[in-house]
Amino acid sequence: MEIEAKRWGFRGKQELNAASASTVRGYLNQIIARINKDNSSSVIRLGHGDPSHFPSFKTTPAAEDAIVDALRSAKHNCYAPSAGVLPARRAIADYLNRDLPCKLSPDDVYLTSGCTQAIEVAINVLSRPGANILLPRPGFPYYESCSAYNHLEVRHYDLLPEKGWEVDLDGVESIADENTVALVIINPGNPCGNVFSYEQLHKVAETARKLGILVISDEAYDNLAFGSTRYVPMRVLGSTVPVLTLGSISKRWIVPGWRLGWIVTSDPNGILKKSGVIDSIAEFLNISSDPATFIQAATPQILENTKEDFFSKIISTLRECADICYNRIEEIPSLTCPKKPEGSMFVMVKLNLSMLEDINDDMDFCLKLAEEESVIVLPGIAVRLKNWLRITFAIEHSLLQEGLGRIKGFCQRHAKKQ
């Protein structure tokens, strides 16, 4: 029997539609839906950064053993404190303290469900009526989705491809005003595969201090650097400008499904405490979810017992994959890669549409590539850089070669006739 009512007092939230559609997942879902199910070719996914499926990117047994030990101890089936269990916070502080002039304490560390929740914490804490935040273009779109949902105005500054994806600092100063709260920097770079030098980070810190804003340093890919530029964490400049570091074990340990991340305050001058940001972080965590307690409990053992040869192997594999990707892209006239990747798991590639037939833009390229070749790449519009592509190279060598070969064949078929 159908229930009748004059008026139902509930409805879906429309803001979620726009916020969800503009995420990496939102774009990839649209592209995956275009795969031709009658095509016998296997699907090759070069669109997202999760290499954990592949044998070359298997995590260390030390991490797996730590999880098993924590579970079997039967000591960690309880709720955890909202900031995270103390041994894990202490271990993360020790892990991040290497080469820091001003040492972190466990009180500077707050555990989150992956780096994604760390982003949510930062955006929620900083959002207020009329405020704005400076995001890189290209960048990681979840910042934009989260900001929009929290009514925090987004303003984009450019990363300059002709300068190795350096920050356009003049552009930063031109778009900031008295309502700007923070600047986001992603290092190593997603989606550009760049690694910022100490000199560049110092200029960013000086600019942020001049503007009176804090720096949110997204270091989800920390230490995944394999080029000539040495990786330096933004927190070394905490005495120059307050820094919120966002990180996790997801990428360096190749365990994105474990959902263990952190937000760390680097502020020896106490500015974040005086402004109420520290209290707001703690208060937000009181009303949000926590990482699983047994994952938190395993963290000290994971950090302490992982051998350097595991990290060296992952770095070596990423370097080889980046070389393959860059060299194969160089063979395709209609694609241009302005800089060989030096970090993370991605590279940005420019589409030369004037050389292609029947391709309207980057989204059209990705949809037709999925339909014709069963290869998934992310359109640049997803990371706010139209008519570019973000390609993931963290994949088995053979699949990477095959996927790039299919992209080359696709571009040849769609090449304009001379």
Residue type, 401: Q
DSSP one-letter code for 225: B
Confidence of residue 5 (pLDDT cuts 50, 70, 90): low
> Could you tell me the sign of the dihedral formed by the alpha carbons of 180, 186, 190, 193, in that order?
positive
Query: How much is the pLDDT for 170?
Result: 98
> Residue 20: is its pLDDT beyond 90?
no
User: Is 355 in a helix, a strand, or coil?
Assistant: helix
Lowest mean pLDDT among 2-6, 172-176, 271-275, 347-351: 2-6
> pLDDT digits over 253-268, tens only?
999 999 999 999 999 9
> Residue 391: is its pLDDT beyond 80?
yes
Residue 201, token pair as written in the block: 């980070």
Residues 299 and 315 in one domain: no
**Residue 6: inside a domain, yes or no?**
no
Residues 282 and 349 in one domain: no
Output the CA–CA distances (angstroms, integers) from residue 181 to 56, 132, 138, 268, 282, in the order listed.
41, 6, 20, 19, 19
Residue type, 380: G
The last residue of one of the domains, among 263, 290, 305, is: 305
Calculate what percentage of the chain has a pLDDT beyond 90.
91
Residues 40 and 86 in one domain: no
Q: Which residues make Cβ contacts (< 8 Å) with residue 416, sequence separation at least 6?
A: 354, 355, 356, 357
E-only strand ranges, 13-140: 44-45, 109-112, 132-137
> pLDDT digits over 205-228, tens only?
999 999 999 999 999 999 999 999
The last residue of one of the domains, among 283, 305, 327, is: 305
CATH number of the domain residue 160 falls in: 3.40.640.10
Mean pLDDT of 24-43: 92
Residues 101 and 81 in one domain: yes
Mean pLDDT of 345-361: 97
Rounded CA separation 86/4 (Å): 54
User: Is 247 in a helix, a strand, or coil?
Assistant: strand
**Residue 209: inside a domain, yes or no?**
yes
Cβ–Cβ under 8 Å, residues 166 and 339: no
Q: How far is CA 330 from the centre of its chain?
A: 26
The last residue of one of the domains, among 270, 305, 340, is: 305
- 70-92: burial string, b at 16+ Cβ within 10 Å, e else: bbeeeebeeebebbbbeebbbbb
Query: How much is the pLDDT for 2?
Result: 62
Tell me the residue range of the domain where 212 lies.
Answer: 61-305
Residues 129 and 252 in one domain: yes
**Residue 287: inside a domain, yes or no?**
yes
Residues 137 and 249 in one domain: yes
DSSP one-letter code for 111: E
Confidence of residue 22 (pLDDT cuts 50, 70, 90): confident
Cβ–Cβ under 8 Å, residues 382 and 142: no
Residues 407 and 325 in one domain: yes
Q: What predicted TM-score, i.e. pTM, was given to this entire model?
A: 0.96
Residues 170 and 149 in one domain: yes
**Residue 1: inside a domain, yes or no?**
no
Plot region of 184 (φ>0 → left; ψ -120 to 50 → alpha; else → beta): beta
DSSP states of 123-176: HHHH--TT-EEEEEES--THHHHHHHHTTPEEEEEEEEGGGTSEE-HHHHHHH-
Query: How much is the pLDDT for 31?
Result: 97
Cβ–Cβ under 8 Å, residues 218 and 187: yes
**Residue 8: inside a domain, yes or no?**
no
> Residue 143: is its pLDDT beyond 70?
yes
Confidence of residue 202 (pLDDT cuts 50, 70, 90): very high
Query: How much is the pLDDT for 221?
Result: 98
**Residue 10: inside a domain, yes or no?**
no
Lowest mean pLDDT among 5-19, 194-208, 327-341, 352-366: 5-19
Q: Which residues make Cβ contacts (< 8 Å) with residue 403, sequence separation at least 6?
A: 44, 46, 375, 395
Phi and psi at residue 252, in whole multiples of 5°? -70, -35
Residues 403 and 373 in one domain: yes
**Residue 232: inside a domain, yes or no?**
yes
**Residue 194: inside a domain, yes or no?**
yes
Rounded CA separation 249/306 (Å): 12
CA angle 198, 199, 202 (to 5 degrees): 85
E-only strand ranges, 249-345: 261-266, 335-336
CATH number of the domain residue 341 falls in: 3.90.1150.10
> Residue 3: is its pLDDT beyond 70?
no
The count of domains in the chain is 2
Rounded CA separation 205/183 (Å): 10
Residues 200 and 286 in one domain: yes
Query: How much is the pLDDT for 127?
Result: 97
Lowest mean pLDDT among 19-23, 62-66, 300-304, 327-331: 19-23
Mean pLDDT of 193-214: 98
> Residue 4: is its pLDDT beyond 80?
no
Output the CA–CA distances (angstroms, integers) from residue 57 to 116, 308, 387, in the order listed.
21, 15, 30
Rounded CA separation 221/253 (Å): 10
Phi and psi at residue 407, in whole multiples of 5°? -60, -40
Residues 116 and 227 in one domain: yes
Residues 285 and 376 in one domain: no
